[in-house]
Amino acid sequence: MDVSRRRALTAVGVAVTAGLAGCGDPGSRRTSTPLFVTNESDTELRVTLRIYELPEPSDGENATETTRTPATSDLEQILVERTTLSADGGAFSLAAGSLPNAPLRVRIATDDGPTDSYDWYRPDAQSTLDVRIRRGSIRFTELA
């Protein structure tokens, strides 16, 4: 075995070991990255992400689905991100610390596809929202 092949195999071994080290608790998917957006459709998409800060629930508790929230036009926009996502797996994420630890409305719009929003009541700074864009729908999943 020559030196370059040995180095390549060593690098692969290190990468596999590092990857497996993060799998010790498969039930936990917590990360410092607050938001992931992935294109699962078979076409390239131009995506606009808008994030608005929601008012704190009036009862001091986490809001529920039945809590009435203001119209998006009445909310303060705190972030706008526009990008093009390649077909079948193109993705982007927001950096750690880029969002406040507060209730947020996340709105995803595509130029020639679905548009949807999600009211996200972040329990803490380690909360992550996974957004998957499909051909005719957008799915929001809070990762615990």
For the stretch 73-122, pLDDT in tens is: 899 899 999 999 999 999 999 998 899 888 999 999 999 889 999 999 98
71, 86, 70, 79: which is closest to 38 by C-alpha?
86
pLDDT at 1: 56
> Would residue 1 count as lying in a domain?
no
Query: Quick one: pLDDT band at residue 60, thresholds 50, 70, 90?
Result: low
> Would residue 93 count as lying in a domain?
yes
Whole-model pTM: value is 0.71
Domain count, the chain: 1
64, 28, 53, 50: which is closest to 143 by C-alpha?
28
120, 42, 101: which is closest to 130 by C-alpha?
120
> Would residue 7 count as lying in a domain?
no
> Would residue 125 count as lying in a domain?
yes
* CATH number of the domain to which 70 belongs: 2.60.40
Residue 13 or residue 86, greater confidence: 86
Which domain, by its residues, includes 97?
29-143
